[in-house]
Structure 1
Amino acid sequence: MIDATRRLGLIGLLVAAAALAPRGAAAQAAQDCPRGTLDARFCDRDGDLVADTPTDPGQLVDPSVLVFAYTPVEDPAVYRSVWQGFMDHLAKATGKRVQFFAVQSNAAQIEAMRAGRLHVAGFNTGSNPLAVNCAGFVPFAMMASREGEFGYNMEIIVPADSPVQRIEDLKGRTIAFTAPTSNSGFKAPSALLASQFNMLAERDFKPAFSGRHDNSIIGVANKDYDAAAIANSVMARMVARNAVDPARIRSIYRSPPFPTTGYGHVYNLRPELQAKIREAFFSFPWDGSALLAEFQKSQPPQEKFIPITYKEHWAVVRDIDKAMNVSYACR
């Protein structure tokens, strides 16, 4: 994976950082402890790069309702029903009522967890570092195939009948990105364009931000954009449910693979509740579920949850962020 990062180029251009303000009781006094790049509210005594569970019982939370959110990649209404079976399983495993939170942006999802309004979530690949460092997110699971294969590719797509045949042909044209926190939707393609093709936003092409991968994909199919940087796992699912006609889209670039959405919980839940949430993910019965029907459309298919660590599996994403001078500071 490190080789993939090198191919994308280690260059300090195009800073992507979110300004997230702490609110109310969520802002705690800084402790005298090791924390690395974590916000001052958190500690990392074991060096795993994620926030430790508080040792002070008064800082632990045990909500009567668990709020769950899936990354705002596509239509939230579609994914509310897709995740319902899992949420029912999570409710049974924890003894809590589980509520779906339809977030509209990556920044809103991170801020919800930072403010204590979101407890369990799937954050997209590029948002994981900011969620970990600013919101106390603790990722522990990722979807994979039954054989344990995982990952997706960043692709740059154009309308099928576009005269554009290679990335260099995009000079002077409009390229759609999703959001500054997105790995495949902004950070990785920005590093690629700058390092390998000496193409910078505003100077060599006009950037546009669609907000979500599905918006970018449909925008290219409808010729609203000359090109777009997208996650091909999202495109595969959209094609599978006839949300977009693949004959109207053509890919001109595919990256090496990246990790997919990371699933986890906020750092300050009671340890017993954390354990039940983890068990719910790994004991979820996929066969016959709406989750399997939706996510097995990806390539490779996503058919189970596997354990992961942020320190290992997000190393390539952190390397890209470092190359782009991305800051995880919370402001």
Structure 2
Amino acid sequence: MRSAGARRRIDELRRAIGVTLLAAWLAAPSSAAAAPACYTVAVVPQFAPAQIYARWRPLLDAVQRRTGLCLKLLAYASIPEFERAFTDGVPDFAFLNPYHVVMAHRSRGYAPLLHDARKLSGILVVRADGPIHQLRQLDGRTVAFPAPNAFGASLYLRALLQRQGLHIDADYVGSHDNVYRAVARGDVAAGGGVAATLARQPAALRALLRVIYATPQTAPHALAAAPRVAPAVRRQLRDAWLAMAGNAADAALLAGVQMPHPVVADYARDYAPLSRLRLDAFVVRPR
């Protein structure tokens, strides 16, 4: 039988071993902690989710290779669903239309990082063989738009039409693709879009359409970051994106997401002026 002193020494040894093992376990990096954080990237659904994935996933893969960042693509089925996501602060990064940049900045503090050097202009299209040639002919007619807050393709156009004294029946059809198809079929008198999305339609569809109006130019869509994204990560992604424009293969990927000539964005310079357009009355807030 062990003496009391021997038992005490054994207990002390066990405690010492336990403390040592606990300290070693705490000091060892877990696989979760060692793994890089995965950042989410949401894209305004101007096109169907499958098209967004086909254009954006290869680009994000290229950015990942340059930066080592993990980037997860979030593709939403509709613009209102996308708006609810960034209004709730869901994505770490978001590709937003110009007025979405304003909305996201106001609601959650998103900051634009990059946009294309080209300006954005909304357009109204009609059937090429149709009788409509002037805006006044749209008074009292049905006009298709992707969604209420699609900036160039809807929000700005509706405001400008109303300021010209025209009253239209807006039909929100979910995407730019759906707008162009509705006009081509003759379902509506006209439809709102932007030049970049019209250019991506099949040639046979474009041949059926005619542009009758273009809005004044504004800053284009931007890639924005949530305030929780560290400044170093923002710079890393921004710098990689800018560097890709100088590589032929990567430049083709940038062109696929409407940013062939990326430049650094600045909220105060590029997007704050949109507040002066007095568009708030035409905005439909996400529910």
TM-score by length of 2: 0.78
From the superposition, tell whether residues 195 and 329 of structure 1 become closer, same or farther in structure 2 (CA, over 3 Å). Answer: closer
Instruction: Report the secondary structure of 1:92's partner residue.
Output: helix
Tell me the amino acid that sits aligned with residue 281 of structure 1.
W
Distance 2:282 2:139 in 1: 25
The separation in 2 between residues aligned to 1:270 and 1:328, in whole angstroms, is 31
Find the partner of 1:159 among 117, 124, 127: 127
1:78-110 deviation digits (Å, cap 9, x = unpaired): 221222332123323443322111112333224
1:266 — aligned with what?
A: 226
* Greater radius of gyration (CA): 2
Instruction: Report deviation, 1:114.
Output: 4.4
2:240 aligned partner: 280
1:218 aligns with 2:181: yes
Q: Deviations over 1:270-319 (max 9, x none)?
A: 23222222222222255124424535xx7xxx422101112111244222
| 1:189 corresponds to 2:157 | yes
Does 2:144 correspond to 1:176? yes
Say if 1:255 and 1:280 are closer, same or farther in 2 by CA, change over 3 A. same
**Kept in 1: contact 2:123–2:215 (CA 8 A):** yes
**Equivalent residues in 2 for 1:249-328, closer than 5 Å:** 249-285=209-245, 286-289=247-250, 290-292=252-254, 294=256, 302-320=259-277, 322=278, 324-325=280-281
Q: Label 1:292 to 1:243 Cα distance change in 2 as closer, same or farther (>3 A).
A: farther
SS of residue matched to 2:238: helix
Instruction: Output aligned runs, 1:205-244, within 5 Å.
Output: 205-238=168-201, 242=202
Deviations 1:229-281 (A, max 9, x none): 2111110122xxx2652221112112222222111211112232222222222
Match of 1:103 in 2: 76
Q: Which has the higher helix share?
A: 2
- Taking structure 1 as reference, are residues 165 and 67 closer, same or farther at Cα in structure 2, changes over 3 Å only? same
Name the structure 2 match of 1:64. Answer: 37
Of 86-95 and 130-139, more deviation after overlay is shown by 86-95
CA contact (8 A) 2:43 2:95 kept: yes
Task: Letter of the 1:186 partner, please give it.
Answer: S
The runs of at least 4 aligned residues of structure 1 exceeding 6 Å deviation read 327-331
Identity %: 24
Evaluate the alpha carbon distance shift between residue 158 and residue 263 of structure 1 in structure 2; reply closer, same or farther with a 3 A threshold.
same
Partner in structure 1 of residue 208 of structure 2: 248
What 5-or-longer segments of structure 2 have no aligned partner? 1-34
Task: Give the distance between the partners of 2:203 and 2:48, measured in 1 at CA.
Answer: 11
| Bigger relative contact order, structure 1 or 2 (CA pairs below 8 A, ≥6 apart) | 1
Contact kept? 1:174, 1:227, Cα under 8 Å: yes
Number of corresponding residues: 251
Equivalent-residue separation in structure 2 for 1:84 and 1:324 (angstroms): 33
1:326 and 1:132, CA in 2 relative to 1: closer, same or farther beyond 3 A? farther
Q: Distance in 2 between matches of 1:330 and 1:316?
A: 22
Q: 1:209 to 1:327 in 2, by over 3 A?
A: closer
User: Residues 192 and 63 of structure 1: is their aligned pair in 2 closer, same or farther, counting only changes over 3 Å?
Assistant: farther
The normalised TM-score by structure 1 is 0.68
CA distance in 1, matches of 2:170, 2:142: 6
CA RMSD of aligned residues (A): 2.6
* Helix, strand or coil at the partner of 1:101: strand
**Could you tell me how far 1:112 is from its partner in structure 2?**
2.5
